[in-house]
Amino acid sequence: MNKCFKLILLLMLFSHIITAQQRPQYTQYVFNNYLLNPAVGGIENYTDVKAGFRKQWTGLDGAPTTSYLTVNMPLGSNFINGDATAIPAGGGENPMSRSYVQNYMAAEPHHGVGLMVVNDKAGPLTQTNIDATYAYHLGLAPRLNLAVGVSAGIAHMGLNTSMITLENPLDPAIANANTSQWYPDLGAGVWLYSPTYYVGASVQQLLKQTLYFSANNAYNQSQTVPHYFLTAGIKLFVSDDITFMPSIMFKVIKPVPNTFDITGKFAFRERFWLGGAYRRNDSVAGLIGFNISSFLSFGYSYDFTTSNLNTVSNGTHEFILGILLNNRYKVSCPMRSF
């Protein structure tokens, strides 16, 4: 009975990956929107490096595990060397303060380039995406920017047949299995941002690909599908030292039902933040982050599973480490993203 139960859970996970959401989900997407939208690349006046690790549904064998590394940076001397909102070297004004918002001016037109590597493993399946990104940031108004971006690269899907035990070892669905498949990857996005709000829209996996694990075409029914994201956030001032930032993300991934994430976080000056999140029909989460210095930041979240998997899941852990390179103004938190 125990083996049967585990088999049912593994099949649930397998079907979730193949027929539903095929890209990883993130609780701390607000800490790295670049993961979902290439238009965010180069938004800050430094090289932004982030490494993340997510262990989903701990305690459940074969549950998804995600790790990633992202790097993006701006290009354009007018922005890097003459940013209209540049603050004095050594830090100066708190980017989360009211006065910073009052003095904010749109960024100079500039480019953003970057690279992201994401590895996601669930059960016998492993997916790796390697994408280069390009973005262009344009001032629409004295306090408003629009960025458009694209991502392009390659993806790899691997099947570990040693993790699959079947009654018939020659099951035609995976007989002579093709356990490694490479295919092109393409995405795009737009990002509208001001000192007090942002709105973004993006799509991943624009190019549909057939995933094949058998030499028999009758079993090659799985396909990658586009993932659409709509995000928005606003900055509200509780006091001169405390800022509340609610945000929402809608996800459209056919053929599964549309879903959304709601996140709210309190930032205490530019030093640390606390927050909570809700994911429809899936989880609630607590979040905490520290801007340790002008070089290093750290974020952690814990998801409490609210779906039927809560009987076998011990929750989800997610860690993010941020490094700020070429940080000319020694800021300890983002100036244009929040």
**Burial (CB count within 10 angstroms: exposed 0-12, middle 13-18, buried 19+), residue 234:** middle
Average pLDDT over residues 112-130: 95
**What percentage of the chain has pLDDT greater than the value 70?**
82
Residue in 12, 27, 36, 15 with CA at minimum distance from that of residue 221: 15
86 versus 293: the higher-pLDDT residue is 293
Give tens-digit pLDDT for 173-211: 666 666 788 999 999 999 999 999 999 999 999 998 887
Residue 291 to residues 136, 320, 330, 337: CA-CA distances in angstroms? 27, 12, 12, 14
In this predicted structure, the answer to whether residue 5 has a pLDDT above a threshold of 60 is: no
Is residue 91 within 8 Å of 324, Cβ to Cβ?
no
In this predicted structure, the answer to whether residue 12 has a pLDDT above a threshold of 60 is: no
Is residue 46 within 8 Å of 71, Cβ to Cβ?
no
Give tens-digit pLDDT for 133-189: 999 999 999 999 999 999 999 999 988 877 777 666 666 666 666 678 899 999 999
**Burial (CB count within 10 angstroms: exposed 0-12, middle 13-18, buried 19+), residue 184:** exposed
Spatial separation of the C-alpha atoms in residues 153 and 186, rounded to whole Å: 7
Give tens-digit pLDDT for 215-228: 665 565 678 899 99
Set out the domains of the chain in order of their start, with CATH numbers. Answer: 9-325 (2.40.160.40)
76 φ/ψ angles, rounded to the nearest 5 degrees = 135, 110
Spatial separation of the C-alpha atoms in residues 43 and 231, rounded to whole Å: 16
Is residue 327 within 8 Å of 91, Cβ to Cβ?
no
- Kindly report each contact of residues 98-104 with a partner whose C-beta sits within 8 Å and lies 24 or more positions away, as own/partner: 98/237, 98/240, 100/195, 100/335, 101/195, 101/196, 101/235, 101/237, 104/143, 104/194, 104/195
CA end-to-end span of the chain, whole Å?
49
Would you give the DSSP letter of residue 102?
H
